[in-house]
Structure 1
Amino acid sequence: MLRTLTAAAAMTVLALPALAQGAQVAFGGATQDPDAPVEVSADQLQVNQSDGTALYTGNVVIGQGEMRLAAPRVLVVYVEGQGRIDRLEATGGVTLVSGDEAAEAERADYDIEAGIIEMTGNVLLTQGENALTSERMIVDLENGTAEMAGRVRTVIQSGGDE
């Protein structure tokens, strides 16, 4: 019991700088491939040829490699004149899953070419039994890392009682 309390106290002290300034954590790892094809399914699709966008609504699920993103509304913006996706803008409550890691937020913007996903608004990241919350998280798919900022809070499971 004393060892568990000591470990918890040590983790709290180590996490204090993260609470004030933000935290960098692993996310997605080496399984992500920003160059992999993007597959989208939804209840409805509206295409706007004049501005090069496609709006998916209703139970939208986007897959790329082993990563899945789900949201009620996703705007797909294409690179002008090239027919390839430039970025995705997901809103209305977003869930991003990669392996056993999952993140939730109010909004997610995915820059396909850069391999960067920015999630904002009540971000919750779960990694196994551990959880982190913040207002903003930027995921770098190439490096398999995420940076959290905006009052970061971490809950780390100690592994049981002794």
Structure 2
Amino acid sequence: MKGMAVNGFRAGVAALALCLLPLVAQAQGAEVAFGGLQHDSTLPVEVTADQLRVDQADGTAVFTGGVVIGQGTMRLSADRVLVNYAAETGDSTGRIERLHATGNVVLVNGAEAAESQEAVYSIDAGTVVMTGSVLLTQGQNALSGERLVVDLARGTGTMEGRVKTIFQSGGGE
């Protein structure tokens, strides 16, 4: 059921991008405002998945199968997420330091959504770096590239790597 929802979301994003093809601008890099992606990274992180494997020796946990991570209004879903815990004097503090998501990655916050092949969320830095065929939608506008760096505290981001921007012209038929 979760897979169908993600596939439906992806199909909707693809259909939206096709509908917006009349107005296209291309560039090598683009800075983007992410008002909806402004986020408080100090909120608790909730993770659900089909399976969990914990390795106390290296302070990691691996969630697999329909992984959904929530923090405030932000949601990150993926096939697999590696969690690195912060350590002090060699011992894990139990505080999540970094999340590395792979496979069918989707980041949603408000009306903005981004999908990619991989994402790294550095919680202390408050950044999400998405790589591999990134597609960002903001309302009726779409932006694609190879790498998206989001600063959650500032609500800004930078898309890099043969950026393609699609803006809705606002004109009617």
TM-score, length basis structure 1: 0.86
Give SS of 1:122's match.
strand
- Structure 2: runs of 5 or more not aligned: 1-22
Aligned to 1:102: 113
Q: 1:46 to 1:30 in 2, by over 3 A?
A: closer
Q: 1:28 to 1:88 in 2, by over 3 A?
A: farther
CA shift at 1:160, angstroms? 2.4
Q: By percentage of residues, which structure has more strand?
A: 2
Q: What percentage of aligned pairs have identical amino acids?
A: 61
Q: Which moved more, 1:27-36 or 1:48-57?
A: 27-36
2:79 matches 1:68? no
CA shift at 1:159, angstroms? 1.1
2:162 matches 1:151? yes
Mapped partners of 2:78, 2:127: distance in 1:
18
Aligned residues: 148
Aligned to 1:78: 85
Aligned to 2:149: 138
How is 1:20-99 mapped onto 2 (pairs within 5 angstroms)? 20=28, 22-29=29-36, 32-80=39-87, 81=91, 82-99=93-110
CA shift at 1:37, angstroms? 0.5
- Structure 1: runs of 5 or more not aligned: 1-10
Aligned to 2:125: 114
* Structure (1 or 2) with the larger CA radius of gyration: 1
Give SS of 2:94's match.
coil
1:5-40 CA distance string (max 9 Å, x none): xxxxxx86xx55xx02x1111225475111111000
Contact 1:28 1:141 in 2 (8 A): no
State the AA in 2 paired with 1:122. Answer: S
Contact 2:37 2:110 in 1 (8 A): no
